[in-house]
């Protein structure tokens, strides 16, 4: 499997937001707003980390990987485990992976990283049918 490409790290954005939260300029209700779908994905597809939630400090964070891409068809926009992403990377030309951290206790969530994955192969283009005149 090729190495991830076009990696974007959101650590600085996360740090700045947490400074605002701890200073009281941003309320916890504004940042602890994970959707039920994200919380369910964290439960069934996520991987627990050893890092504690920066907001509630009661629970550890869970990482959830989301995949998006035209070539994924029905799988686009779904949460996947890292093993499944490796399998997709071998079979699909290109798609984007988004890693999100989630606290299942207080609903804190933040985008950690995004990157391009895939074999790099271009999808087969549909062949044009020939007409009887050709």
User: In which element (H, E) is residue 89 found?
Assistant: helix 82-91
d(CA 18, CA 39): 20
| Contact indicator for 76, 69 with CB cutoff of 8 Å | yes
Q: Is 36 exposed, middle or buried (0-12, 13-18, 19+ CB in 10 A)?
A: exposed
Per-residue pLDDT of the chain (134 residues; tens, 9 = 90+): 445 678 999 999 999 999 999 999 999 999 999 999 999 999 999 999 999 999 999 999 999 999 999 999 888 999 999 999 999 988 888 999 999 999 999 999 999 999 998 877 665 544 445 566 65
Residue 126 has what pLDDT?
47
3-state secondary structure of 18: helix
């Amino acid at each position: 499997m090729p190495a991830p490409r076009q990696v974007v790290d959101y650590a600085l954005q996360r740090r700045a937001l947490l400074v605002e939260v701890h200073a009281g300029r941003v309320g916890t209700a504004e940042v602890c707003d994970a959707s039920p779908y994200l919380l369910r994905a964290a439960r069934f597809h996520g991987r627990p980390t050893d890092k504690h939630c920066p907001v509630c400090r009661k629970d550890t964070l869970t990482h959830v990987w989301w995949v998006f891409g035209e070539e994924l068809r029905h799988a686009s926009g779904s949460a996947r485990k890292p093993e499944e992403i490796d399998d997709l990377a071998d079979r699909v030309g290109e798609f984007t992976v988004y890693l999100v951290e989630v606290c299942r206790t207080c609903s804190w969530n933040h985008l950690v990283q995004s990157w391009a994955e895939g074999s790099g192969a271009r999808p087969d283009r549909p062949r044009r049918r020939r007409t009887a005149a050709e």
